[in-house]
Structure 1
Amino acid sequence: MPGDVPRSPEAAKLHAPLARLLRPLVRLLIRSGITLPMLTELLRELYVNVAEYDFALSGKEQTDSRVSLLTGIHRKEVRRLRGAGAPVNAVPATVSQTSRILARWLADPEFSDADGRPLPLPRIAEPLQPSFERLVVSVTRDVRPRAVLDEWLDRHLVIIDDQDRAVLVQAAYVPRSGEDQQLYYLGRNLHDHIAAAVTNVEAPSPQFLERAVHYDGLTKELAEHLQQRSREVAMQALQKLNREAHAGSDGVLPGRWRWNFGVYVYSEEVVPPATAGRPGDHNDEEPRT
């Protein structure tokens, strides 16, 4: 069409996977009231930010002209946007605090059993005995254990049993819909998954494990069964690696590296089905959502 910008072969090959990747995000954006002009402004900031820092030439100052050449954004706009860009590493204090306390409760042998199940913890116990107070203090002294317990009770992360012990609710492993913690991990986990996949595409050989088991043409019953089994197997893997990471890092001076191990499970009804495929047949039809 007249006015279309010519695309390189590499850009053309990315069009279909990029459209599929962005579709659920666009659905979330529309539902959340983020319009195309708002997203465009954010993308402008990110394009300039990434070009400015990730594509700088060694020993040379990154100029407005080069950023403009890399991004296709006018120099005047580049000058306005340089130094901007949405923060991608900021961790809300409540998210960081909650996740660290939960990780220790699930990993530290003092607060969990041999299978990684969190022990019921007395609110306060004798010195050197496991308790909720001791758990919180082992992670942070910036907030009172009672304040943490009251907040977690209000959020239904824990309950108090008939022996006056704090019991971690299994649903606490998954943040509630729309809360700050869930939105933080939306950005963090999707970033790391995409970053791993992009690194593998760019590198001569894959550097990160990024695999999936996928079957099409399943019955609803089998899909639901596999989803439940996936949850069970995934939680076992997550708890085991959490314990290993905790044991290896507890009491060690902090370094500059971070690590993230994630698991995702997804199933949906494909409407209308392209063909009555056999289990295992690949289906590239875009599902209606």
Structure 2
Amino acid sequence: MHLPTLPPSLLPALQHVMRPLVRLMLKKGVTYTRFADLLKDIFVDVAEREFRLDDTPPTDSRISLLTGVHRKDVRRLRAKTAGQDVALPEIISFGAHLVSVWLNNSPFCKQPGQPLPIARLASMGGECSFDALVAQVSKDIRARVVLDEWLRLGVVRIDDQDCVHLETVAFIPQKGFDEKAAYFRHNLHDHACAAVHNLTETGAPFFERSVHYDSLSPWAVSQLREAVAVEGMQMLNGLNLLAAELEERDVPPPASRQRITIGLYFYTEPSPSAVSTPTKANSS
């Protein structure tokens, strides 16, 4: 079996990409040994699922050759590997759907993207209440359960008039590590999939672009951060509306369904000490 030639730029790139992930692991008590064991599992699973010949499952020996994992470990890991579902947990998907309805559907918003404060109880607000909002999405989940959880996560607040205010323009919990980790898992995975596809596959690339400068003042960075928060969310809200309309208008058969992720991010840190010329670039 012919193994591909390792591009000299790949390992330095992977080393750089891994730094924030290692920072997260060290902050949360994940040791090198524990992560190395996890990586073994992932190497074996990906090799088994995605590197087949003529759709035939690879042998333990072939996986060992591909991955560098000892054949005994390959046999042990194949016996227990079940793969990972890349979809968001159901409770997260439900929350995202609920926020989308609040943001974009009458009578819960002034206009798309401008959610209204709504009465907590249907007895006070009728169809423009949190009770009615939850009932519009699911008849099986009690509004009080959702409200208590959203108050815990910082998604909503309740004012003195017993009205519920949406505190975010997307279901991104302000509290709750497990909920934040679900988005970390989903978003970073899909961004990495797009980038890896563009690096390794032929044909049309996925859209993946960024703007980067390295000589901005703290004031300029704060202006850009605010612009991303406002204009970026306007763009995502528009795409959310379009996706919802298309989902309703063009219903595919179950076997043809596809999922998408569209993201936007902002990051800043001190520039290297060396003085450099301001730059702007797009990556693909």
What is the TM-score with the length of structure 2 in the denominator?
0.86
Query: What is the aligned residue count?
Result: 274
Q: Aligned equivalents of 1:124 and 1:274: distance in 2?
A: 59
Task: Between 257-266 and 120-129, report the one with greater CA deviation.
Answer: 120-129
Q: Aligned equivalents of 2:261 and 2:137: distance in 1?
A: 20
Q: Which has the higher contact order (CA 8 A, sep 6+)?
A: 1
1:112, CA displacement in angstroms?
Answer: 2.1
Structure 1 counterpart of 2:277: 278
Corresponding residue to 1:38 among 10, 34, 43:
34
Q: Aligned equivalents of 1:62 and 1:237: distance in 2?
A: 44
Matched to 1:119, the amino acid is L
1:232, CA displacement in angstroms?
Answer: 1.3
After TM superposition, the structure 1 = structure 2 runs for residues 35-184 of structure 1, keeping only pairs within 5 Å, are 35-82=31-78, 83-84=80-81, 87-89=84-86, 91-125=88-122, 129-170=127-168, 173-176=171-174, 179-184=177-182
Q: Aligned equivalents of 2:156 and 2:10: distance in 1?
A: 45
1:138, CA displacement in angstroms?
Answer: 1.9
* CA displacement, residues 226-283 of structure 1 (integer Å, 9 cap, x when unaligned): 1211221111111111122222224846742101110000111125x112x232278x
Structure 1 pair 250–136 and aligned structure 2 pair: CA distance change class (3 A): farther
% identical equivalent positions: 39
1:132, CA displacement in angstroms?
Answer: 1.3
Q: Aligned equivalents of 1:172 and 1:114: distance in 2?
A: 16
1:196, CA displacement in angstroms?
Answer: 0.3
Alpha-carbon contact 1:45-1:85 (below 8 Å) kept = no
Structure 1: gaps (5+ residues): 1-6, 283-289
Structure 2 counterpart of 1:4: none
Structure 1 pair 11–278 and aligned structure 2 pair: CA distance change class (3 A): closer
C-alpha RMSD over aligned residues? 2.6
Corresponding residue to 2:183 among 182, 185, 197:
185
SS of 2:157's partner is strand
Task: Between 152-161 and 205-214, report the one with greater CA deviation.
Answer: 152-161
Corresponding residue to 2:208 among 199, 207, 210:
210
Q: Which runs of 4+ in 1 moved over 6 A?
A: none
SS of 1:268's partner is coil
Alpha-carbon contact 1:106-1:243 (below 8 Å) kept = no
Task: Between 209-218 and 60-69, report the one with greater CA deviation.
Answer: 60-69
Matched to 2:278, the amino acid is P
1:8, CA displacement in angstroms?
Answer: 6.7
SS of 2:111's partner is coil
Structure 2: gaps (5+ residues): none
Q: Aligned equivalents of 2:15 and 2:280: distance in 1?
A: 23
Structure 1 pair 61–183 and aligned structure 2 pair: CA distance change class (3 A): closer
Structure 2 counterpart of 1:232: 230
Structure 2 counterpart of 1:266: 267
Q: Aligned equivalents of 2:169 and 2:237: distance in 1?
A: 15
Q: Aligned equivalents of 1:122 and 1:232: distance in 2?
A: 26
Matched to 2:270, the amino acid is E
Task: Between 64-73 and 97-106, report the one with greater CA deviation.
Answer: 97-106
Q: Aligned equivalents of 1:110 and 1:63: distance in 2?
A: 58
Alpha-carbon contact 2:190-2:261 (below 8 Å) kept = yes
Structure 1 pair 90–174 and aligned structure 2 pair: CA distance change class (3 A): closer
Q: Aligned equivalents of 1:210 and 1:201: distance in 2?
A: 11
